[in-house]
Structure 1
Amino acid sequence: MDALLPRRMPAAAVSLPTRLASFAMALMALAAILAAPVARADDYPSRPIHIVVPYSAGGSSDAPMRVIAQQMAQQMGEAIVIENKPGQGAMIGAEYVARAAPDGYTLLLASNPQAISATLYSHLSFDPVGDFAAISLFGREPGVLVVNPSMPVRSVREFVDYVKARPDKIDYASSGNGSAQHLFTAMFLSAAGLRMMHIPYRGSAQAVTDVVAGQVLVAMPGLAAMMPHIREKRLIPLAVTGDQRSPLLPDVPTLAESGFPGFSAYVWSGLVAPKGTPPAIIERLNRELKKAMASDTVKAYMHNASVEIVTDTPAEFQAFFQQEKARDAKAIQDAGLKID
């Protein structure tokens, strides 16, 4: 058995040149480690930052992000590039960022679909919540139940009666499977005992276009982008999804007022980075985002777009993210939704 064991060479048997060579290699390895670039807030950014918007260009989430990004770029002295990667309920863009290098140069516009899809999709190759480092929320707005004017309803009660008499005959549009529009409408239909056909789109812009054109009759998108269509009477608002009536539509009731007590849902937006992004970079981005949201340019834009500015710390946003995931999971279970 002893013959199978390697024999130890006495220390004196190791030649001096060999020991010097080993020592030199160790020094080189240490020098390489010390010379490796370390992600720090004081030298970040040194090249353009890319923010992935997982929706189509021109949509209700895309436009505010471009205004905010422009302001952040001016503050940080480096270009910020917006990349639109829509599809699969925002999961195509989210997965792209989840797999990006955690160096602060690839960020994601996060919103409700990240929290929703963690439960809605059963076979995702990444965690829509756990694979990201939160930076900050930056805004929220209520949804609004709108119908094409050709639909002969002008109140939630009339809507419920009309759809209930036509199960699976009326379509509703959303910006994609797992989107806030999808979940909000499904929650409402479940509460009202209604059955409708879901028509998912690759972003809100085309979904709203088809509702305005009458190809689909119903949608529940964010309020801000719908105001021009509502003012021009291209869409009829029946109710908003927030806790209170919107100042923009003071005569339009909430769903809670319309026979669905406790119904409350907001479209929220924030900024996240790949999991593992250095805390110094996250803190720098948090400060820059808050500074941008406090600028006159961004405040004026968000006010005109009817989006409420909301900012927080990375830890608070991470906790909010987890809370939304748990809340949405219950809503998805109650509505019987699942996508394989």
Structure 2
Amino acid sequence: MFVSVLHRRRFCHQLAAGLVALSAGAAQANGFPDRPIKIVVPFAPGAGTDAMGRLIAAKLAELLKISVVVDNRAGASGALGAQEVAKAAPDGHTLLLAAAPFTTVPAALPGAGYDPIAGFTPVGMFAHGPLVWAASKDLPANTLSEVVALARSQPGRLNYGSAGVGGINHLVLESLKAHTGTFITHIPYRGIAPATVDTLSGQIQLLTGTIPALAPYIRDGRLKALAVTSQGRSPALPQVPGMQESGFADVNVLNYFALVAPKGTPDAVVQQINAALAQVVAMPDVKERLAKDALEPATGTPAQLALFLQKDVDGWKRVVERQKLKIDAF
């Protein structure tokens, strides 16, 4: 009986080893990755999106044991980089770092040159976070509902600065205007920095921006924080209410970061990158870095990302149509 059990154990061990080897062989059979992976960041070096791209590239390189490089392809509010990836070989070796403009640009401008749904294969989201509504310290309103009341009582008095026409900063204003029936003048700038300068000086009264960009001015009292654009509060600004608490339960805007691949990328490759991405987001130092940038980890399946992207595009299209925005170019 002892000999029989021993033989069975040896057989089970040999069988398990064989299955592991077979599994490893199957994983290698798809040939991915067999050369460096390129992550196209559709914005200039030094931007927040670029920092996220470099963080993810470095960590994926560690896990996949192959070089992962960042290729900055700035222009047309991210459209040029998206167009390049859409035309790349669908083998997983070229990816796009998708952020909010990936969906706002084609929603606002049908001639953007790419389709975020039909032209790409979702891989996975890895982080998201809200913007923050901020106001000049001299504005006689301390909450978003007070701003809306002021806008209703004095249409056209308030000016709002954004990083450019059709971007998330612009469209979040249009979303608020659509939900409240108010008129607030939109003033587009070439980036959020000059809009911030003019809000600090009182030349304009309102803007939205990322929490890291505006938090220093909020903390020293040069700007007022009215609300964050997500439904709930942000851990990065716990004293500032979210949209639901502010009385705008239908408004929920998140700046997200995700990876997408060219349409037709094999599912096995997509799943492999998605699994590696989940491991990256679980790393303590990555969580710490995301928190520093006022972002929260956001893992999920490719199907979940596909659903999110579709809802985001559809939502922004409704805002553009309701506000009758005519945007010809960025």
TM-score tier, shorter chain, comes to 0.7 to 0.9
- Counterpart check, 1:143 vs 2:155: no
Aligned to 1:12: none
Distance 1:65 1:213, change over 3 A: farther
Instruction: Tell me the CA shift for residue 90 of structure 1.
Output: 2.2
User: Which residue of structure 1 lines up, in the alignment, with residue 83 of structure 2?
Assistant: 95
Aligned to 1:119: 107
How far apart, in 2, do the equivalents of 1:205 and 1:56 lie? 15
Contact 1:56/1:62 (<8 A) preserved:
yes
Secondary structure in structure 2 of the residue aligned to 1:172: strand
Matched to 1:63, the amino acid is A
In the other structure, the counterpart of 2:13 is: none
Shift of 1:273: 1.0
Residue of structure 1 equivalent to 2:274: 286
CA separation of 1:49 and 1:171: change in aligned 2, threshold 3 A: farther
Give the 3-state SS of the residue equivalent to 2:307 in structure 1: helix
Total equivalences in the alignment:
302
Deviation, 1:133, is 0.7
Cα RMSD between the aligned structures? 2.8
1:255 alignment partner in structure 2: 243
Aligned partner (choices 259, 262, 265) of residue 274 of structure 1? 262
Tell me whether 1:44 sits opposite 2:32 in the alignment: yes
Partner residue of 1:71? 59
Structure 1 window deviating more from structure 2 (288-297 vs 203-212): it is: 203-212
Match status 1:242 vs 2:212: no
Please, which of 181, 201, 210 is the counterpart of residue 222 of structure 1? 210
Corresponding residue SS for 1:220: strand
Letter of the 1:105 counterpart: H
Structure 1 unaligned residues grouped into runs of 5+: 1-38
User: Counterpart in 1 of 2:16?
Assistant: none
Q: 1:237: Cα distance to partner?
A: 0.8
Change (3 A) 1:296 1:253: closer
CA contact (8 A) 1:102 1:277 kept: yes
How does the TM-score come out when normalised to structure 2?
A: 0.79
The alpha carbon displacement at 1:282 in A equals 1.6
Question: What do residues 153-207 of structure 1 show as CA deviations (whole Å, max 9, x unaligned)?
Answer: 3322442344456644544333333322222111112223333343445555565
Share of identical aligned residues, percent? 36
Partner SS for 2:70: strand
CA shift for structure 1 position 68: 2.0
Instruction: Name the amino acid aligned to 2:137.
Output: P
Q: Distance in 2 between matches of 1:175 and 1:107?
A: 25
Using a 3 Å threshold, how does the CA distance of structure 1 residues 69 and 148 change in structure 2: closer, same or farther?
Answer: farther
- CA separation of 1:297 and 1:251: change in aligned 2, threshold 3 A: closer
Looking at structure 1, the residues matched to 307 and 29 of structure 2 have their Cα atoms a distance apart, in angstroms, of 24
Structure 1 range deviating more: 212-221 or 231-240: 212-221
CA pair 132-204 structure 1, distance change in 2 beyond 3 A: farther
Partner of 1:221, secondary structure, is strand
Q: What pairs up with 1:318-337 in 2 under 5 angstroms?
A: 318-337=306-325
* Unmatched runs of 5 consecutive residues or more in structure 2: 1-26
Structure 1 residue 270: deviation in Å?
A: 0.8
- Give 3-state SS (helix, strand or coil) of 1:265's partner: coil
1:184 and 2:161 matched: no
Q: Deviations over 1:102-136 (max 9, x none)?
A: 23232111123333333321323331321011000
> Does the 8 Å CA contact 2:211/2:236 hold for their aligned counterparts?
no
Query: How far apart, in 1, do the equivalents of 2:29 and 2:256 lie?
Result: 27
Matched, 1:128 2:116: yes
Larger C-alpha radius of gyration, 1 or 2?
1
Tell me the TM-score normalized by structure 1: 0.77
- Counterparts of 1:87 and 1:199, CA distance in 2: 21
- Distance, in Å, in 2 between the alignment partners of 1:207 and 1:188 is 19
**TM-fit CA distance, 1:146:** 0.9
Relative distance call for 1:259 and 1:71 in structure 2 (3 A) is same
Q: Name the residue aligned to 2:15.
A: none
State the one-letter code of the partner of 1:246.
Answer: S
Contact 2:60/2:277, CA 8 A, preserved across alignment: yes
Q: 1:293 to 1:126 in 2, by over 3 A?
A: same
CA distance in 1, matches of 2:62, 2:170: 36
- The 1:183–1:52 alpha-carbon spacing in structure 2 relative to 1, beyond 3 Å, is same
Distance 1:292 1:246 in 2: 22
Q: Secondary structure at the match of 1:96?
A: helix
Deviation at 1:212, TM superposition (A): 4.7
Distance 1:199 1:41 in 2: 54
Amino acid at match of 1:244: G
Deviation at residue 41 of structure 1 after TM alignment: 7.0
Q: Is the 8 A contact 2:232 2:245 kept in 1?
A: no
My pick for the range that moved more, 303-312 or 206-215, is 206-215
Q: Classify 1:175/1:277 alpha carbon distance in 2 versus 1 (closer, same or farther; 3 Å).
A: farther
Give the 3-state SS of the residue equivalent to 2:111 in structure 1: coil
3-state SS of the aligned residue for 1:86? coil
